[in-house]
Structure 1
Amino acid sequence: MPDFEKKILDYVTRPGYTPVREKALLKKVGGSKSTSAEFEQAIETLRARKDILVSDSGLIRPVKKEGWIAGTIKKTSSGAGYLIPHHKPDDIAHDQRHAGDLYISERDMGDAHTGDEVYATVINRRRSGGQICGRVVEIIERASTTFVGTYFESHGEGYVHVDGKIFNSPIHVGDPGAKGVSSEDKVVIDILHFPSKDYLGQGVISKVLGPHGKPGVDLLSIVYEFGIPMEFPEEVLIEAREQASLFDEAKLGNRRDLTKETIVTIDPADARDFDDAISLTRNEKGHWLLGVHIADVAHFVKEGSILDREAKRRGTSVYLPGQVIPMLPEIISNGLASLQEGQVRFTKSAFIEFTAEGVPVHTEFANSAVQVTQRFAYEQVLPIIQGRDDEGKDVSAEVRELLKNMHHLAMILRGRRFAAGALELHLSEVRLTFDDKHRVSGAVEREHDESHQIIEEFMLAANISVAEAFNDRKLRFLRRVHPSPELPRQVAFAEFVNAMGYTLKKAQSRKDLQQLIEQVHGTPVEQAINYALLRSLKQAEYTDEELGHYALAVDHYCHFTSPIRRYPDLTIHRMIDEILERPDKGKGQSPQGLRQLGHELSLRERRAESAERELTKVKLLSWMIENNIKTLKTMITGVETFGLFCRGTDVPVEGLLHISRLGKHDYFHQDAAKFSIVGERTGQEYRIGDFLTVEVEKIDLDRRELDFRLPSSKKVAKTSNAVPSRQNNKKSAKKSSSKTQPNTKKKSRKVKSQRSKKKKRK
């Protein structure tokens, strides 16, 4: 067996080594496909010993000099920030007050920015609160080199204000008019030199998206900002069409024919793809036999094909307000693999046998073919089950009986889940509505009644049963895990709950958490406590490690039910094929790169969620500007030393009520123990969960900032979508080695070089 550990270290520490990914390194050190398992084990061992570092994109680097710490940068608007270490050295890990993060001042930040992976060192300086300080010494990998912003001109030179708060100063893009760009156009730029405390950044315009404020430009801005691929390459579309031409619904092969079975789908009324269907019968023992039938995407998307590589690159469908960017071409996602009513479709079926009490006793898999008997929208189901809808008279007795049985079993399974310790947060979820120009026209709260819970319980049951079946076979697969929360976060949450007037005896007890969630349900503090609990939990992710799923209270869990829109589900479907083809010889997914694949797919998922969140914010702020919204009813969702974060109760938008806007004749300070801000003279207290009517002071659309003030303020509220220059423009430009700098007066509009009142944000 090759000594891969030594070979890898020798290779990555040689002079002039350029970081490569696992597949390339395997060849460089003399490995092959047959030795890939030993190679990957060596990589994992070296990572665990901290001899090598694998970046988010998979590049392998040696850990540098002793004392260098690798991590990710998170900057604040002041220019300072924090290093969040990948592996925390003991001296930092023991600094419990700051969760082991390393504080880095603006002067020690260099040109590192939020999201960058860097090396840093601890320096001989402490903050006033005693926090350990550090200095960035080397950039490992940039979070991105492509950004979106608004173009403007000054003194015959072109500049771009990058959207968001990542840069405080504009980026110089050279001669004006490149690519036909005009002032206030939204553009995509590639950074050539990143800005620092002393120098302006430099970049080049790669694409002009269109005039600021033009319908559709906000969507394109977010898509390019997050690097989300929209159009499919032609070769991918060609392969998808070929799969469509090969599909013959009459040729079932060895598939189990379920086309005569009573099978239904239940989805949102506006759903475009239908990837899951349900059947439910009883056997001679009186046991339930639940059939969860999922679109067989693996039949059309072969491993290693052009379609597969594109799906892996995307990782997930992206659900943006008003538009879906699919993982697969629509001929597959909305056609071949969509379980449409009355159409024969190929599926992967999981048949789960339950006792009358809802105890699972057996799981069986099959490649199958179904023909959905009837499609239902969520809104139609509950009235039919309860026998109070005239439309139900047009539904056959067989289908009505199926829906009632589904409801009965789902409620049994739901009760068993919560008895086992599962957690369900009660968080209000708002859905935006749009006009024909994709502008926000309103917002409505999403319902989550028992019709939704039926499908939710069956999908959870299928995911759990598949994972347990794989685990029983000792297969290695891509799990969906939710690690247990860290004790300090649990303790902090318990303190918060006590400050709100409730008691959480054991912060680590799921039973106590369940009781608390039910106790506050329907009360004014329900959302505050549920959001606080959510923030205390870790993020779910994909990995091969057996970490369990904390919120669901299960040891084994995976994603099986949505292969149209999630790549991890597709990997699970391929494993089912392996089990069906070789029941006794299946080994599961190849260990090479499985953990890295999970890491990459987790990042793709978070990218999609961030893009949805940011575009929602942009559209809501635009709606507020267009409708001249001046007053909002809000709830306080966060308390910081510099002010209060307030979220609209009717409009799901969050803004900052700065501490300076709480009153001129009082001094307010944070009471961390009570999660509040208190006035020293008046005793006026504002705490998380309080409801507050606020006025809109300013909207900065490009920075995606919303500032509030109390109604008692005499200043006139302003809402403007003008693009202000970033903080410290003038200071940065003066220090720049460039001879040009942005002019503070432009023909098209005025751009202030520095905000008149600098608000501290984190």
Structure 2
Amino acid sequence: MPDFEKKILDYVNRTGYTPVREKTLLKKVGGSKSNSPEFEQAIASLRTRKDILISDSGLIRPVKKEGWIAGMIKKTNSGAGYLIPHHKPDDIAHDQRHAGDLYISERDLGDAQTGDEVYATVLNRQRSSGQICGRVVEIIERASTTFVGTYFETQGEGYVHVDGKIFNSPIHVGDPGAKGVRSEDKVVIDILHFPSKNYLGQGVIAKVLGPHGKAGVDLLSIIYEFGIPLDFPDEVLAEAREQASLFDETKLGNRRDLTRETIVTIDPADARDFDDAISLTRDEKGHWLLGVHIADVAHFVKEGSLLDREAKRRGTSVYLPGRVIPMLPEIISNGLASLQEGQIRFTKSAFIEFTPEGIPVHTEFANTAIKVKQRFAYEQVLPIVQENDEEGKNVSSEVRDLLKNMYHLAMLLRGRRFSAGALELHLAEVKLTFDDKHRVTGAVEREHDESHQIIEEFMLAANVSIAEAFNDRKLRFLRRVHPSPEMPRQIAFAEFANALGFTLNKVQSRKDLQKLVNEVHGTPVEQAINYALLRSLKQAEYTDEELGHYALAVDHYCHFTSPIRRYPDLTIHRMIDEILERPDKSKGQSPQGLRQLGHELSLRERRAESAERELTKVKLLTWMIDNNIRTLETMITGVETFGMFCRGTDVPVEGLLHISRLGKHDYFRQEVPKFSIVGERTGQEYRVGDLLTVEVEKIDLDRRELDFRLPRPKQYGNTKKQGSAAPEQRTPKGTAKSKKKASVRKVKSKKTRKKKRK
């Protein structure tokens, strides 16, 4: 087989190369139609590793071009930015905070924005810190051309303040009133010309979402901002209905009939879809036979179908506060493929045999049909297992024994997993609470007790067993990997822990890391340690490469257990079908684009997580405004030269306490080795992990910013005006107006400059 990766790199990196598309490049490197799958896999691998670049128009470009450097732009609030190179050049100076990144001033950025992929060139100048400067010379691919913001008018022209911190100036959208828009409406715009230092951006209104602050508009804003597909196309819904009409639960075909087995589900009380169920028996040798039964989504979603293409486009279900945007139409996700109590459902089952000590000795999988005996919420399980419940008296002895055995085996597996070096962080997971009008009433921490751990251990066991079975067959499949962390990050984390008074003997030892996590559990610095450790680790992703899973301490892992909400699981289910149909001929998934598919699905997953995080922040900030929250108990989670980041201990929001708000009569500086800020005159020290009471100074919903200040000293005598001034709680309307005044000045000046240039 031709070494296409080398041939492609040699060709695109040669002097005088002109960018071409895949079809042309295939011929240029000596390929043909017969070996195009190998060529396409090479292209996908090189693109994923950022060894080549592919523009929006499909042109294949080199990472290095005539002294240019390719990378991603990250802008700062000042308007300047950094180029994060895809491959770190040796000639870029390093500094402590931006090692290997190229500093680009506002005037040298052109109209490049955060997330854009660009070419830049190195300039013959340095910053005072020694960092090399650069200039953007070409945009390769825009991160996005669609944005969400708040509309306003001034001087007979329409403008939009884009949400977040993407642009420092408004976008001009032309004549007022387009699409019936009114001031303070949230809108979706398409950018025609991006803003730069000297020119305003120009765009066009694509959709009006509704008045700023109206119920549901914040949700729509996030959905459109992150480009999350919302409604299913009519033809996809029609195909889903057709699958429903074809489903006959009495025609099992060659499925193994498990409908008389004792099988249960355990899910959150408010769960809408149920994709996993459990059975457990024991043989005469004392061996356990665990059955993990997963909804057979592949039976309804055929590869290449409209349903399949739509599911791949979405990649994952998106779980936003108060709203789920499913990967599949609800007739499948909440109907045909939902393992509802008392209903016959088609499943793919993994049967794992364990010794009495919990050692796996054999795995088998099959297409099955089940009927769930009983559904349980997490909260119901432990009381039944511990025999201190009232409700459990209505549970049959057969089901009660099953739950007890499940608990016993799960704890056995959990103990073995941590003995083998698995790592588990204790991160608080927050769930927003809503009233009947879907307004936030507060936030509660999600529980994660032993009832959750039962299902967690069985799902992990199934995912590992399936991956190992595929690997033993030397099959190529979509793995879930978690690469090992980089040593500099591990050393930095060890120094951080040491600054807080904890010793980490071996920074590379997962057991030592877990020991530290357990040691700080329940202490004031628990969340600070856990979040710092999380930031030191790499992100998990999907790929065909054998990189192992660092946190789980296993060599082979995949996602098999949630095909209703994750597309990667669906690819694993299809492989099981292939193995069952052709056990001796199965080769696994086609190499064509498998690595690229993993890369794209990883991006879809991160998009969903980012959308959930942003909407949660918007909801909480809105709740703080509505409830006039003025004071918060917080923990310092990070220190920078410009101030401290503080996260609420009861209200899970993070804000900035600027260094200028620490006191007028002292000079504060950052002490990097101690992860603290210290006053030179008073010696007052603020350290990561410290608890701190703060006052809310400003809430900016559009930019999603929360600013704190220290509580003002109590005033005595006639000081009402100074001492009783409430923190500035800007409503969305007030925020837009205050921004508008500043923006008008920018608009005028920039319009004047444009006229002069014309």
- TM class by smaller structure: over 0.9
Structure 1 residues 245, 8: CA separation in 2 closer, same or farther (over 3 Å shift)?
A: farther
TM-score normalised per structure 1: 0.93
Query: Corresponding residue for 2:745?
Result: 730
Aligned positions, number: 740
Structure 1 residues 203, 30: CA separation in 2 closer, same or farther (over 3 Å shift)?
A: farther
Structure 1 residues 682, 96: CA separation in 2 closer, same or farther (over 3 Å shift)?
A: closer
TM-aligned CA deviation for residue 737 of structure 1: 6.3
CA distance in 2, matches of 1:663, 1:206: 47
1:352 aligns with 2:352: yes
CA distance in 2, matches of 1:394, 1:23: 66
In the TM superposition, 1:267-306 aligns within 5 A as 267-306=267-306
Query: Corresponding residue for 1:425?
Result: 425
CA distance in 2, matches of 1:372, 1:14: 65
Give SS of 1:121's match: strand
CA distance in 1, matches of 2:537, 2:664: 38
CA distance in 2, matches of 1:300, 1:322: 28
Render the CA deviation track for 1:144-195: whole Å, top value 9, x for unaligned. Answer: 0000000000100000000000000000000001111100000000000000
Give SS of 2:381's match: helix
Query: Corresponding residue for 2:134?
Result: 134
TM-aligned CA deviation for residue 90 of structure 1: 2.5
Structure 1 residues 645, 729: CA separation in 2 closer, same or farther (over 3 Å shift)?
A: farther
Query: Corresponding residue for 1:379?
Result: 379
TM-aligned CA deviation for residue 497 of structure 1: 0.6
Render the CA deviation track for 1:25-62: whole Å, top value 9, x for unaligned. Answer: 76998967642343135436866997632469986323
One-letter amino acid matched to 1:301: V
CA distance in 2, matches of 1:398, 1:41: 51
Query: Corresponding residue for 1:246?
Result: 246
Give SS of 2:143's match: coil
Render the CA deviation track for 1:537-572: whole Å, top value 9, x for unaligned. Answer: 111111111111111111111110000000000001
Give SS of 1:489's match: helix
Render the CA deviation track for 1:390-426: whole Å, top value 9, x for unaligned. Answer: 1111000000000000000000000011001111111
Structure 1 residues 57, 462: CA separation in 2 closer, same or farther (over 3 Å shift)?
A: farther
One-letter amino acid matched to 1:314: R
Query: Corresponding residue for 1:699?
Result: 699
TM-aligned CA deviation for residue 85 of structure 1: 1.4
Query: Corresponding residue for 1:201?
Result: 201
One-letter amino acid matched to 1:663: G
Indicate if the aligned counterparts of 1:198 and 1:736 stay in contact, CA closer than 8 A. Answer: no
Give SS of 2:190's match: strand
Indicate if the aligned counterparts of 2:199 and 2:754 stay in contact, CA closer than 8 A. Answer: no
In the TM superposition, 1:164-563 aligns within 5 A as 164-563=164-563
Equivalent residue for 1:719, pick from 684, 707, 729: 729
CA distance in 2, matches of 1:652, 1:374: 36
CA distance in 1, matches of 2:542, 2:58: 15
Q: Which moved more, 1:578-587 or 1:724-733?
A: 724-733
Indicate if the aligned counterparts of 1:12 and 1:19 stay in contact, CA closer than 8 A. Answer: no
TM-aligned CA deviation for residue 137 of structure 1: 1.0
One-letter amino acid matched to 2:699: I
CA distance in 1, matches of 2:260, 2:665: 76
Indicate if the aligned counterparts of 2:433 and 2:440 stay in contact, CA closer than 8 A. Answer: yes
TM-aligned CA deviation for residue 98 of structure 1: 2.7
CA distance in 2, matches of 1:224, 1:53: 27
Give SS of 1:725's match: helix
Structure 1 residues 29, 151: CA separation in 2 closer, same or farther (over 3 Å shift)?
A: farther
TM-aligned CA deviation for residue 222 of structure 1: 0.4
CA distance in 1, matches of 2:683, 2:16: 64
Structure 1 residues 12, 189: CA separation in 2 closer, same or farther (over 3 Å shift)?
A: farther
Structure 1 residues 739, 61: CA separation in 2 closer, same or farther (over 3 Å shift)?
A: closer
Q: Which moved more, 1:283-292 or 1:311-320?
A: 283-292
Indicate if the aligned counterparts of 1:185 and 1:212 stay in contact, CA closer than 8 A. Answer: yes
Render the CA deviation track for 1:270-293: whole Å, top value 9, x for unaligned. Answer: 000000000001123221110000
CA distance in 2, matches of 1:45, 1:142: 21
CA distance in 2, matches of 1:155, 1:636: 44
Render the CA deviation track for 1:341-399: whole Å, top value 9, x for unaligned. Answer: 00000001000111111111111010000100000000000000000001111000000
Structure 1 residues 157, 551: CA separation in 2 closer, same or farther (over 3 Å shift)?
A: same
Give SS of 2:65's match: coil
CA distance in 1, matches of 2:333, 2:228: 18
CA distance in 2, matches of 1:45, 1:222: 32
Give SS of 1:91's match: coil
CA distance in 1, matches of 2:165, 2:89: 30
Query: Corresponding residue for 2:102?
Result: 102
CA distance in 2, matches of 1:32, 1:326: 40
Render the CA deviation track for 1:65-113: whole Å, top value 9, x for unaligned. Answer: 2321111111111111211111112234976663322221212111111
Structure 1 residues 44, 626: CA separation in 2 closer, same or farther (over 3 Å shift)?
A: closer
CA distance in 1, matches of 2:10, 2:313: 29
TM-aligned CA deviation for residue 607 of structure 1: 0.4
One-letter amino acid matched to 1:398: E
Q: Which moved more, 1:23-32 or 1:66-75?
A: 23-32
TM-aligned CA deviation for residue 16 of structure 1: 11
In the TM superposition, 1:85-100 aligns within 5 A as 85-92=85-92, 98-100=98-100
CA distance in 2, matches of 1:253, 1:51: 48
Indicate if the aligned counterparts of 1:199 and 1:732 stay in contact, CA closer than 8 A. Answer: no
Q: Which moved more, 1:314-323 or 1:90-99?
A: 90-99
TM-score normalised per structure 2: 0.93
Indicate if the aligned counterparts of 1:168 and 1:728 stay in contact, CA closer than 8 A. Answer: no
TM-aligned CA deviation for residue 634 of structure 1: 0.7
Indicate if the aligned counterparts of 2:480 and 2:543 stay in contact, CA closer than 8 A. Answer: yes
TM-aligned CA deviation for residue 2 of structure 1: 7.0
TM-aligned CA deviation for residue 263 of structure 1: 0.3
Indicate if the aligned counterparts of 1:200 and 1:733 stay in contact, CA closer than 8 A. Answer: no
TM-aligned CA deviation for residue 650 of structure 1: 0.7
Q: Which moved more, 1:130-139 or 1:359-368?
A: 130-139
In structure 2, the gaps of 5 or more residues are 714-722
Give SS of 2:598's match: helix
One-letter amino acid matched to 1:443: A
Indicate if the aligned counterparts of 2:698 and 2:729 stay in contact, CA closer than 8 A. Answer: yes
Structure 1 residues 47, 704: CA separation in 2 closer, same or farther (over 3 Å shift)?
A: closer
CA distance in 1, matches of 2:177, 2:488: 54
CA distance in 2, matches of 1:293, 1:56: 42
In structure 1, the gaps of 5 or more residues are 742-762
TM-aligned CA deviation for residue 734 of structure 1: 1.7
TM-aligned CA deviation for residue 124 of structure 1: 1.6
CA distance in 1, matches of 2:490, 2:57: 32
One-letter amino acid matched to 1:225: E
Give SS of 1:135's match: strand
Indicate if the aligned counterparts of 1:559 and 1:572 stay in contact, CA closer than 8 A. Answer: yes
Indicate if the aligned counterparts of 1:255 and 1:368 stay in contact, CA closer than 8 A. Answer: yes
Indicate if the aligned counterparts of 1:358 and 1:409 stay in contact, CA closer than 8 A. Answer: yes
CA distance in 1, matches of 2:743, 2:675: 32
Give SS of 1:218's match: helix
TM-aligned CA deviation for residue 436 of structure 1: 2.1
CA distance in 2, matches of 1:511, 1:57: 48
Render the CA deviation track for 1:684-725: whole Å, top value 9, x for unaligned. Answer: 111111111111111000000011111126563011122243
One-letter amino acid matched to 2:453: Q
Give SS of 1:98's match: coil
How large is the Cα RMSD of the aligned pairs?
2.4
